[in-house]
Amino acid sequence: MTSIASPAAQHRVRRPIKLPSWPERLAWLVAIGGAAAGTIGVVWRFTSGHTAADYGSYVPWGLWVAAYIALVGASAGAFAFAALIFSARWRQHYRLAELALLVALGTFVAGMLSVWIDLGHPFRAWRLLTNSQAGSVMGLMTWFYLAYGVVLVIGLWETRRGPVPRFIERFAWLAVLFAVVFAGAEGSLFGVVGAQATWESGLTPVVFLIEGALFGVSLVAAAGALFKVLTSETAKLLGQALLGLLLALVVVEAAEIFTGLRAAVPAKRHVFEAILTGDYWWVFWVFHLALGVVVPAAILWHSRWRAPFVGAAGALVGTMALASKLNLVVPALAAHEDIEGLAEAFTGPGLVYDYMPSTMEWLVTVGAFALAGLLVLMGHTLLRRLEQSARPAPALTQEGV
């Protein structure tokens, strides 16, 4: 059997496109549905301003800020994971690293959308670059985001097809360092706010680092299982990383809660009491602890590092990230009056120490998460096609002719 096709002819041959698996098709369906819901939310937001939102003057940040820090943290985590693989030159995991870069891009874009829409003047966002204040952590973060976005796009572009360039492997350690600083700075955004007793802590950036790594790796595991790119080796690597990071999170959270509950300052104690036993206790106990920590840890523990289980655990941890960040943002603002009696001093919309995201806020957040999913799905499909077109087609044989 001899090959008779020329190299050019080999490229012209169209290979059949493999249909996605049913979980992948389901993911497309969910993502498209979520994006449609998000579109309604975005239109609602821009036609009604902020009047349809439940955040206001005493609880100025809510679901969108929580979604933003969860998504951007996950992005930094996924990016660091990819950079770590490239810098260690674990070539057998490069396919997973490429997927991690896609996850990083999807979550980053979705996180930016979430915070952009939260701005009182979204169309003045450009001022963050022209009037940036170096003394403000948020001002500093703008430049981090810009640099991060550029590095991310370069990384994806260079690894989109074929072998990973040497310079990526050589400088990936710098990217790991950058991701660590980036995630830590994200935590400092909250850590420097002295008015909020539970935010102002040296532990806050550390929690952000751990959570960022955890959420990033968990989403990479979920995406890896979905696209069936996890080998037994990569599934084990991800599963063990997830379990280790979950343990680290439990340790720092336990330290925070224990010291917070024992704090002599009521402002701090009230916040932790609200998280654990307040009206929204179920956010912590059900969504964060049970579904975001205990169940995934149990799945991983009994998974024998099989890819579908690692992926399922990752999906749970990744989606429950929002609960954890909601508990960071909202109770700190809502559980304690700045001055006792302020809530009753003058009443009006937005002048309350309570917060429950409105339908419009939920729709936008569903849309943001769906956008992240869609970008990963589209990116993966595109990469798969590029990969197929780059690979030489099987030679035609005389029989084939």
The Cα–Cα gap between 219 and 105 comes to 12
344 vs 399, which CB is nearer to another protein? 344
Which one of 99-107, 126-134, 310-318, 354-362 is the stretch in contact with another protein (CB under 8 A)?
126-134
Q: Which of 128, 206, 360, 377 binds another protein (CB under 8 A)?
A: 128
Phi, psi of 253 (to 5 degrees): -70, -40
DSSP bridge partners of 397:
3
Interaction of residue 264 with another protein, rule CB under 8 A: no
Which one of 79-87, 114-122, 273-281, 364-372 is the stretch in contact with another protein (CB under 8 A)?
114-122
Question: In a 10 Å sphere around its CB, with 0-12 CB exposed, 13-18 middle and 19+ buried, how is residue 258 labelled?
Answer: exposed
- Nearest distance, CB of residue 387 and another protein, angstroms: 41
Site for another protein in 137-176 (CB under 8 A): 137-139, 141-142
**Long-range pairs for 88-93 at CB < 8 Å and ≥24 separation?**
89/169, 92/231, 92/233, 92/234, 93/233, 93/234, 93/237
Which one of 112-120, 158-166, 291-299, 377-385 is the stretch in contact with another protein (CB under 8 A)?
112-120
Which one of 33-41, 124-132, 174-182, 305-313 is the stretch in contact with another protein (CB under 8 A)?
124-132
Site for another protein in 328-367 (CB under 8 A): 333, 337-342, 344-346, 348-351
| Coil, helix or strand at residue 3 | strand
The Cα–Cα gap between 155 and 168 comes to 7
**Long-range pairs for 118-125 at CB < 8 Å and ≥24 separation?**
118/61, 118/64, 118/65, 118/68, 120/50
Helices (H) and strands (E) in the chain, counts: 16, 0
- Nearest distance, CB of residue 80 and another protein, angstroms: 25
Question: In a 10 Å sphere around its CB, with 0-12 CB exposed, 13-18 middle and 19+ buried, how is residue 232 labelled?
Answer: exposed
- Nearest distance, CB of residue 29 and another protein, angstroms: 35
Annotate each residue in 12-51 with x if it binds another protein (CB under 8 A) or - if it does not, as one string. -------------------------------------xxx
- Residues of the shown chain interacting with another protein in the complex, contacts defined by CB under 8 A: 49-51, 53, 55-58, 60-61, 118-121, 124-125, 127-128, 131-133, 135-139, 141-142, 192-196, 333, 337-342, 344-346, 348-351
